[in-house]
Structure 1
Amino acid sequence: MAYQQPYINQQPMATMGMKAGGNRNALGKPMNSDGKREWSHGLCDCFSACGTCCYACWCPCIVHGKNKQRVAHLEDKGSPEPDGGSCCSGACWAHCCLQTFFGLGCILQCMNRGEIRGRYAIEGGCCGDCLASLCCSACDLTQVSREIQLEEQSFGRY
Protein backbone atom coordinates (compact mmCIF):
# COMPACT_ATOMS: atom_id res chain seq x y z
CA MET A 1 0.00 0.00 0.00
CA ALA A 2 1.39 3.43 -0.99
CA TYR A 3 1.89 6.18 1.56
CA GLN A 4 -0.59 9.00 1.10
CA GLN A 5 0.21 12.54 2.31
CA PRO A 6 -2.43 14.30 4.40
CA TYR A 7 -4.62 16.84 2.62
CA ILE A 8 -3.79 20.42 3.62
CA ASN A 9 -6.59 22.93 3.18
CA GLN A 10 -4.88 26.06 4.44
CA GLN A 11 -2.06 28.27 3.20
CA PRO A 12 1.00 28.46 5.44
CA MET A 13 0.92 31.34 7.89
CA ALA A 14 3.61 33.99 8.14
CA THR A 15 6.42 33.25 10.56
CA MET A 16 8.74 35.55 12.47
CA GLY A 17 10.98 37.43 10.11
CA MET A 18 8.54 37.31 7.21
CA LYS A 19 7.28 40.69 6.15
CA ALA A 20 3.92 41.37 4.61
CA GLY A 21 3.88 43.81 1.79
CA GLY A 22 1.66 45.89 -0.37
CA ASN A 23 1.30 45.88 -4.11
CA ARG A 24 4.41 47.42 -5.60
CA ASN A 25 2.75 47.72 -9.01
CA ALA A 26 -0.71 48.85 -7.95
CA LEU A 27 -1.67 50.20 -11.38
CA GLY A 28 -0.59 46.98 -13.09
CA LYS A 29 1.99 48.61 -15.36
CA PRO A 30 3.38 46.10 -17.85
CA MET A 31 6.89 44.79 -17.23
CA ASN A 32 9.51 44.81 -19.97
CA SER A 33 11.81 41.91 -20.82
CA ASP A 34 14.19 42.96 -18.03
CA GLY A 35 11.43 42.76 -15.42
CA LYS A 36 11.21 46.55 -15.13
CA ARG A 37 8.28 48.88 -15.62
CA GLU A 38 7.57 52.58 -16.06
CA TRP A 39 6.77 54.96 -13.22
CA SER A 40 3.11 54.79 -12.24
CA HIS A 41 2.81 58.54 -12.87
CA GLY A 42 4.88 60.65 -15.22
CA LEU A 43 7.37 63.22 -13.97
CA CYS A 44 5.21 66.08 -15.26
CA ASP A 45 2.04 64.65 -13.68
CA CYS A 46 3.03 66.32 -10.42
CA PHE A 47 0.16 68.81 -10.62
CA SER A 48 -2.31 65.95 -10.24
CA ALA A 49 -1.15 65.80 -6.62
CA CYS A 50 -1.32 69.55 -6.07
CA GLY A 51 -0.84 69.49 -2.29
CA THR A 52 2.31 67.37 -2.43
CA CYS A 53 3.60 69.41 -5.36
CA CYS A 54 3.15 72.68 -3.44
CA TYR A 55 4.92 71.23 -0.42
CA ALA A 56 7.71 70.01 -2.69
CA CYS A 57 8.10 73.49 -4.22
CA TRP A 58 8.24 75.43 -0.96
CA CYS A 59 9.47 72.86 1.57
CA PRO A 60 11.26 70.10 -0.33
CA CYS A 61 13.04 68.92 2.80
CA ILE A 62 9.70 67.98 4.39
CA VAL A 63 8.55 65.93 1.40
CA HIS A 64 11.96 64.24 1.14
CA GLY A 65 11.94 63.39 4.85
CA LYS A 66 8.40 62.02 4.71
CA ASN A 67 9.21 59.92 1.64
CA LYS A 68 12.24 58.39 3.35
CA GLN A 69 10.34 57.70 6.55
CA ARG A 70 7.36 56.15 4.74
CA VAL A 71 9.58 53.78 2.74
CA ALA A 72 11.58 52.85 5.84
CA HIS A 73 8.34 51.95 7.63
CA LEU A 74 7.16 49.85 4.67
CA GLU A 75 10.49 48.01 4.64
CA ASP A 76 10.82 47.54 8.40
CA LYS A 77 7.22 46.92 9.46
CA GLY A 78 5.63 45.71 6.22
CA SER A 79 2.83 48.24 6.60
CA PRO A 80 2.21 51.95 5.90
CA GLU A 81 3.44 54.62 8.28
CA PRO A 82 0.34 55.41 10.40
CA ASP A 83 1.04 59.16 10.55
CA GLY A 84 2.24 59.54 6.95
CA GLY A 85 5.79 60.33 8.08
CA SER A 86 7.18 63.00 10.35
CA CYS A 87 8.22 66.33 8.93
CA CYS A 88 11.20 66.63 11.28
CA SER A 89 13.11 63.43 10.60
CA GLY A 90 16.86 63.10 10.15
CA ALA A 91 16.42 62.88 6.38
CA CYS A 92 14.47 66.14 6.45
CA TRP A 93 17.20 67.94 8.38
CA ALA A 94 19.95 66.53 6.17
CA HIS A 95 18.13 67.71 3.05
CA CYS A 96 17.45 71.11 4.61
CA CYS A 97 21.11 71.65 5.54
CA LEU A 98 22.48 70.44 2.23
CA GLN A 99 20.00 72.57 0.29
CA THR A 100 20.27 75.69 2.42
CA PHE A 101 24.04 75.88 2.79
CA PHE A 102 25.27 74.24 -0.40
CA GLY A 103 22.30 74.01 -2.77
CA LEU A 104 22.86 70.25 -2.97
CA GLY A 105 19.63 68.75 -1.66
CA CYS A 106 19.23 67.15 -5.07
CA ILE A 107 22.00 64.69 -4.17
CA LEU A 108 19.85 63.11 -1.45
CA GLN A 109 16.84 63.16 -3.74
CA CYS A 110 18.81 61.44 -6.49
CA MET A 111 19.92 58.68 -4.12
CA ASN A 112 16.37 58.23 -2.81
CA ARG A 113 14.96 58.13 -6.35
CA GLY A 114 17.39 55.31 -7.18
CA GLU A 115 16.29 53.38 -4.09
CA ILE A 116 12.64 53.81 -5.04
CA ARG A 117 13.33 52.64 -8.59
CA GLY A 118 14.95 49.53 -7.16
CA ARG A 119 12.12 48.86 -4.70
CA TYR A 120 9.42 49.13 -7.36
CA ALA A 121 11.40 47.65 -10.28
CA ILE A 122 11.15 50.84 -12.30
CA GLU A 123 13.30 51.24 -15.38
CA GLY A 124 15.84 54.04 -15.56
CA GLY A 125 19.30 54.83 -14.40
CA CYS A 126 21.52 57.09 -12.35
CA CYS A 127 21.76 59.80 -15.02
CA GLY A 128 17.98 60.08 -15.28
CA ASP A 129 17.69 60.18 -11.49
CA CYS A 130 20.23 62.98 -11.28
CA LEU A 131 18.59 65.00 -14.04
CA ALA A 132 15.12 64.65 -12.55
CA SER A 133 16.35 65.61 -9.08
CA LEU A 134 18.43 68.54 -10.30
CA CYS A 135 16.22 70.01 -13.02
CA CYS A 136 12.77 69.34 -11.61
CA SER A 137 13.13 68.81 -7.89
CA ALA A 138 9.47 69.31 -6.97
CA CYS A 139 8.25 66.98 -9.71
CA ASP A 140 10.79 64.35 -8.64
CA LEU A 141 9.69 64.49 -5.00
CA THR A 142 6.01 64.33 -5.99
CA GLN A 143 6.54 61.39 -8.35
CA VAL A 144 8.39 59.44 -5.66
CA SER A 145 5.71 60.27 -3.08
CA ARG A 146 2.93 59.09 -5.38
CA GLU A 147 4.72 55.79 -6.05
CA ILE A 148 4.98 55.17 -2.30
CA GLN A 149 1.34 56.21 -1.84
CA LEU A 150 0.16 53.57 -4.31
CA GLU A 151 1.81 50.82 -2.27
CA GLU A 152 0.35 52.26 0.93
CA GLN A 153 -3.13 52.39 -0.61
CA SER A 154 -2.86 48.75 -1.65
CA PHE A 155 -3.07 47.83 2.04
CA GLY A 156 -6.64 49.17 1.98
CA ARG A 157 -6.18 51.65 4.80
CA TYR A 158 -5.95 54.86 2.76
Structure 2
Amino acid sequence: MAAPYVQQQPMATPGMMAVGGNRNAKNLPMTAEGRDWSNGLFDCCNDASTCFLAWCCPCVVYGQNKQRLEYLQSKGQPDPEAGGCCNSDCIIHAAITGCFGAGWILQMMNRGNVRGRYSVKGGGCGDCMSSCCCAPCALTQESQEIALEEQSFTGGYQKA
Protein backbone atom coordinates (compact mmCIF):
# COMPACT_ATOMS: atom_id res chain seq x y z
CA MET A 1 0.00 0.00 0.00
CA ALA A 2 1.40 3.45 -0.96
CA ALA A 3 2.09 6.10 1.64
CA PRO A 4 -0.24 9.12 1.60
CA TYR A 5 0.96 12.25 -0.19
CA VAL A 6 2.15 14.93 2.26
CA GLN A 7 1.96 18.58 1.19
CA GLN A 8 4.02 20.16 3.97
CA GLN A 9 6.78 19.19 6.31
CA PRO A 10 5.91 18.25 9.87
CA MET A 11 6.02 21.06 12.43
CA ALA A 12 8.18 21.05 15.54
CA THR A 13 6.64 19.48 18.60
CA PRO A 14 7.01 20.81 22.15
CA GLY A 15 10.34 19.84 23.59
CA MET A 16 12.18 19.94 20.27
CA MET A 17 15.10 22.33 20.24
CA ALA A 18 16.89 23.70 17.22
CA VAL A 19 20.65 23.25 17.51
CA GLY A 20 23.25 25.44 15.87
CA GLY A 21 23.60 29.01 14.78
CA ASN A 22 23.12 30.75 11.48
CA ARG A 23 25.97 29.82 9.15
CA ASN A 24 24.96 32.54 6.68
CA ALA A 25 24.14 35.38 9.07
CA LYS A 26 24.26 38.05 6.37
CA ASN A 27 21.95 35.97 4.13
CA LEU A 28 24.33 36.11 1.17
CA PRO A 29 23.13 34.47 -2.05
CA MET A 30 24.04 30.79 -2.40
CA THR A 31 24.98 29.18 -5.69
CA ALA A 32 25.95 25.61 -6.49
CA GLU A 33 29.58 26.57 -5.73
CA GLY A 34 28.67 28.18 -2.40
CA ARG A 35 28.58 31.79 -1.27
CA ASP A 36 31.04 34.63 -0.84
CA TRP A 37 32.79 35.39 2.45
CA SER A 38 30.67 37.61 4.72
CA ASN A 39 33.57 40.08 4.88
CA GLY A 40 36.23 40.74 2.29
CA LEU A 41 39.86 39.70 2.73
CA PHE A 42 40.89 43.30 3.36
CA ASP A 43 37.98 44.21 5.66
CA CYS A 44 40.33 43.93 8.64
CA CYS A 45 39.15 47.25 10.08
CA ASN A 46 35.77 45.63 10.86
CA ASP A 47 37.61 43.87 13.69
CA ALA A 48 40.67 46.01 14.38
CA SER A 49 41.67 44.23 17.60
CA THR A 50 41.79 40.80 15.92
CA CYS A 51 43.60 42.30 12.93
CA PHE A 52 46.22 43.89 15.18
CA LEU A 53 46.68 40.62 17.10
CA ALA A 54 46.95 38.70 13.81
CA TRP A 55 49.75 41.03 12.66
CA CYS A 56 51.64 40.81 15.97
CA CYS A 57 50.91 37.21 17.07
CA PRO A 58 49.26 35.23 14.27
CA CYS A 59 49.71 32.03 16.28
CA VAL A 60 47.22 33.28 18.90
CA VAL A 61 44.52 34.14 16.34
CA TYR A 62 45.12 30.85 14.51
CA GLY A 63 44.72 28.91 17.78
CA GLN A 64 41.58 30.83 18.73
CA ASN A 65 39.99 30.34 15.30
CA LYS A 66 40.75 26.63 15.31
CA GLN A 67 39.43 26.09 18.84
CA ARG A 68 36.27 28.16 18.21
CA LEU A 69 35.54 26.29 14.99
CA GLU A 70 36.13 22.87 16.56
CA TYR A 71 33.92 23.78 19.53
CA LEU A 72 31.09 24.87 17.21
CA GLN A 73 31.41 21.64 15.23
CA SER A 74 31.54 19.32 18.24
CA LYS A 75 29.25 21.07 20.75
CA GLY A 76 26.91 23.03 18.48
CA GLN A 77 27.40 26.23 20.47
CA PRO A 78 30.01 28.99 20.87
CA ASP A 79 33.15 28.30 22.86
CA PRO A 80 32.67 29.94 26.27
CA GLU A 81 36.41 30.66 26.37
CA ALA A 82 36.28 32.40 22.94
CA GLY A 83 39.20 30.28 21.78
CA GLY A 84 41.34 30.92 24.84
CA CYS A 85 44.75 32.51 24.55
CA CYS A 86 47.68 30.17 24.14
CA ASN A 87 46.37 26.70 23.41
CA SER A 88 48.26 23.77 21.88
CA ASP A 89 47.36 24.86 18.32
CA CYS A 90 48.88 28.27 19.05
CA ILE A 91 52.10 26.70 20.33
CA ILE A 92 52.39 24.36 17.31
CA HIS A 93 51.82 27.29 14.94
CA ALA A 94 54.44 29.38 16.74
CA ALA A 95 56.97 26.52 16.64
CA ILE A 96 56.43 25.80 12.94
CA THR A 97 56.59 29.50 12.10
CA GLY A 98 59.69 30.06 14.23
CA CYS A 99 61.59 27.03 12.97
CA PHE A 100 60.51 26.84 9.35
CA GLY A 101 58.47 29.96 8.59
CA ALA A 102 55.63 27.69 7.52
CA GLY A 103 52.78 28.49 9.92
CA TRP A 104 50.78 29.59 6.90
CA ILE A 105 50.40 25.90 5.94
CA LEU A 106 48.40 25.26 9.12
CA GLN A 107 46.38 28.40 8.43
CA MET A 108 45.67 27.22 4.89
CA MET A 109 44.28 23.91 6.15
CA ASN A 110 42.10 25.57 8.78
CA ARG A 111 40.88 28.10 6.21
CA GLY A 112 39.60 25.18 4.14
CA ASN A 113 37.72 23.91 7.19
CA VAL A 114 36.14 27.34 7.74
CA ARG A 115 35.13 27.55 4.07
CA GLY A 116 33.63 24.06 4.29
CA ARG A 117 31.54 24.83 7.39
CA TYR A 118 30.14 28.03 5.91
CA SER A 119 29.83 26.86 2.28
CA VAL A 120 32.14 29.63 1.08
CA LYS A 121 33.29 29.53 -2.54
CA GLY A 122 36.94 28.85 -3.23
CA GLY A 123 39.53 26.15 -3.14
CA GLY A 124 42.94 25.10 -1.96
CA CYS A 125 44.82 27.43 -4.30
CA GLY A 126 43.00 30.51 -2.98
CA ASP A 127 43.44 29.30 0.60
CA CYS A 128 47.15 28.85 -0.04
CA MET A 129 47.61 32.29 -1.61
CA SER A 130 45.67 34.20 1.05
CA SER A 131 47.31 32.31 3.95
CA CYS A 132 50.80 32.70 2.50
CA CYS A 133 50.63 36.24 1.12
CA CYS A 134 48.37 37.96 3.65
CA ALA A 135 48.06 35.71 6.68
CA PRO A 136 46.81 38.39 9.12
CA CYS A 137 44.00 39.42 6.76
CA ALA A 138 43.00 35.79 6.17
CA LEU A 139 43.01 35.04 9.91
CA THR A 140 40.84 38.10 10.61
CA GLN A 141 38.42 37.17 7.83
CA GLU A 142 38.05 33.65 9.23
CA SER A 143 37.55 35.02 12.75
CA GLN A 144 34.80 37.34 11.51
CA GLU A 145 33.03 34.45 9.76
CA ILE A 146 33.09 32.33 12.92
CA ALA A 147 31.96 35.32 15.04
CA LEU A 148 28.88 35.83 12.85
CA GLU A 149 27.68 32.31 13.62
CA GLU A 150 28.52 32.71 17.32
CA GLN A 151 26.56 35.98 17.49
CA SER A 152 23.52 34.32 15.88
CA PHE A 153 22.96 32.11 18.93
CA THR A 154 20.38 33.19 21.49
CA GLY A 155 21.95 35.64 23.86
CA GLY A 156 23.95 37.49 21.18
CA TYR A 157 27.32 35.95 22.02
CA GLN A 158 30.10 38.46 21.46
CA LYS A 159 33.70 37.39 20.85
CA ALA A 160 35.93 38.70 23.63
Q: Same fold (TM over 0.5)?
A: yes
Q: Which residue of 2 aligns with 1:5?
A: none
Distance in 2 between the 1:10 and 1:122 partners? 29
Give 1:132 shift: 0.1
Distance in 2 between the 1:35 and 1:125 partners? 10
Q: Given the two structures, how large is their TM-score scaled by the length of structure 1? A: 0.87
Selected match of 2:148 from 127, 150, 154: 150
Structure 1 residues 123 and 10: alpha-carbon distance in aligned structure 2, compared to 1, 3 A threshold:
closer
Give 1:11 shift: 2.3
SS of equivalent residue, structure 2 residue 80: coil
Matches for 1:80-95 after TM superposition, within 5 Å: 80-95=78-93
| Residue 126 (1) aligns with residue 128 (2) | no
Give 1:86 shift: 1.3
Q: Which residue of 1 aligns with 2:29?
A: 30
Unpaired segments ≥5 residues, structure 1: 1-7
Q: Which residue of 2 aligns with 1:74?
A: 72
For residues 35-91 of structure 1, the C-alpha deviation after alignment (integer angstroms, 9 at most, x for no partner) is 500000000111221100000000000000000110111111111011211122111
Distance in 2 between the 1:130 and 1:83 partners? 29
Distance in 1 between the 2:20 and 2:137 partners? 26
Q: Which residue of 1 aligns with 2:19?
A: 20
Distance in 2 between the 1:10 and 1:138 partners? 43
Q: Which amino acid in structure 2 is aligned with residue 11 of structure 1?
A: T
User: How big is the alpha-carbon RMSD for the aligned residues of Structure 1 and Structure 2?
Assistant: 1.8
Q: Which residue of 1 aligns with 2:5?
A: none
